[in-house]
Amino acid sequence: MLTGRERVHAALTFSHPDRPPRDLWALPYISLFRQAELQALLAEFPPDIGGIQLSPGQSDDDSARYGQPGTYLDEWGSLWSVAETGVIGEVKAPALADWSRLDHYQPPWQLIRGRDFSFANRMAAESSRFILSPCCARPFERMQFLRGSQDLFIDIAWGSAEMRRLLAMVHEYELEDMRGWCSSDVDGVLFMDDWGTNSALLINPRTWRELFKPLYKQYVDLIHSAGKFAFFHSDGCIQAIYPDLVEIGIDAINSQLFTMDIEELARLYKGKITFWGEIDRQHVLPFGSPEDVRAAVRRVRRALDDGSGGVIAQCEWGKDNPAANVRAVYEAWLE
């Protein structure tokens, strides 16, 4: 029997794993308020992918704060409001709402310079799972947190010089963060940006290719030069840029397959990239029956799973998802 690390590696390299690797994303609400259900599911279906951190209690991403309702100032200087424990909040006062602050603004370099990865390396050495870094880069989302989403979309539409300066600054920070994780003993390095609505990309694909694709290519090249796998996550309908993500060499992509044409994605990209989940978390997981869930998994498997690899059995367990539905996901992947 393969270890989790071996199984994920086989899936990523299309080397016929003994079964599709498992990965569960339990959102903070589940960890906080449904811990018994979570532990029971993990015991029944042990995951093959493991997360990692720098030291106990240390978060690598300020958006991961899901504390008590209220406000907090993140390390980049933006004010967030959290309305419900276990659910991510929103930026209410962006640090760079006024461009006049840009000339003297600096990212929080102290978070990433001189890091000690010894704790993370020990975790990787002691685990038989495939170890994935925390999210190392999210330039589009970080710029939204700094400017506010509406203003950033206007900035991108105008192609303002300030927007390009900010993008270069954020990218420089993200690259340095990623270099650190590439020097560690993780197996894969993760970056992300949520690019889609339910039906289309948030910006013109041509603009995305001009501004963001070159940055993503640098991330992937850096990850591969370190001998690691490049993992990418993006919510929404991103079918328009799937060929670009394949072209730049991303190894595994987590996307909302059910907002897109799954069969067409399979026809075009099966065997070229690993589909890292997922199962419909907008409709099927929260509102469907276990049999609806199994039918959704079967659709994904018919399109993508021929036994050679290229798929990871991932799903996200959100606040309103019954445990029976999440269990049905992993049962169906074993059929």
Please state, as a whole number, how many other Cβ atoms lie within 10 Å of the Cβ of residue 254: 22
Closest-CA residue to 133 (of 244, 233, 214): 233
Q: Are 66 and 88 in contact (CB under 8 A)?
A: yes
Q: What angle do CA 137, 111, 193 make, to 5 degrees?
A: 15
Q: Are 48 and 8 in contact (CB under 8 A)?
A: yes
**Contacting residues for 267 by C-beta, under 8 A, at least 6 apart:** none
E strand or H helix at 275? strand 274-276
User: Where do the structural domains in the chain lie, given as residue ranges?
Assistant: 4-63+101-333
**Contacting residues for 21 by C-beta, under 8 A, at least 6 apart:** 4, 7, 8, 11, 48, 49, 130, 312, 313
E strand or H helix at 324? helix 323-333
Task: Name 82's bridge partners.
Answer: 70
Strand ranges (E), 94-175: 130-135
Closest-CA residue to 225 (of 193, 182, 257, 287): 182
What burial class does residue 28 get, using C-beta atoms within 10 Å of its C-beta: 0-12 exposed, 13-18 middle, 19+ buried? middle
Instruction: Say what the pLDDT of residue 54 is.
Output: 74
Q: Are 300 and 308 in contact (CB under 8 A)?
A: no
Give per-10-residue mean pLDDT for the chain (335 aa).
97 98 95 95 98 65 64 94 89 97 97 93 96 96 98 97 98 97 98 97 98 98 98 98 98 98 98 97 97 98 98 96 98 97
Q: Hey, which CATH number is domain 4-63+101-333, 3.20.20.210, 3.40.50.300, 3.40.50.1820, 3.10.450.50?
A: 3.20.20.210
Cis omega (within 30 of 0) for bond into 278 = yes
d(CA 289, CA 326): 10
Backbone angles phi and psi of 190, in degrees to 5: -105, 135
Instruction: Say what the pLDDT of residue 64 is.
Output: 47
Which DSSP category does 81 fall into? E
d(CA 182, CA 224): 9
Q: Are 254 and 233 in contact (CB under 8 A)?
A: yes
E strand or H helix at 255? strand 252-255
What burial class does residue 114 get, using C-beta atoms within 10 Å of its C-beta: 0-12 exposed, 13-18 middle, 19+ buried? exposed
CB burial readout 256-295, b (16+ within 10 A) else e: bbbbbebeebbeebbeebbbbbbbbbeebbeebebeebbe
CA 243 to chain centre: 18
Q: Are 185 and 124 in contact (CB under 8 A)?
A: yes
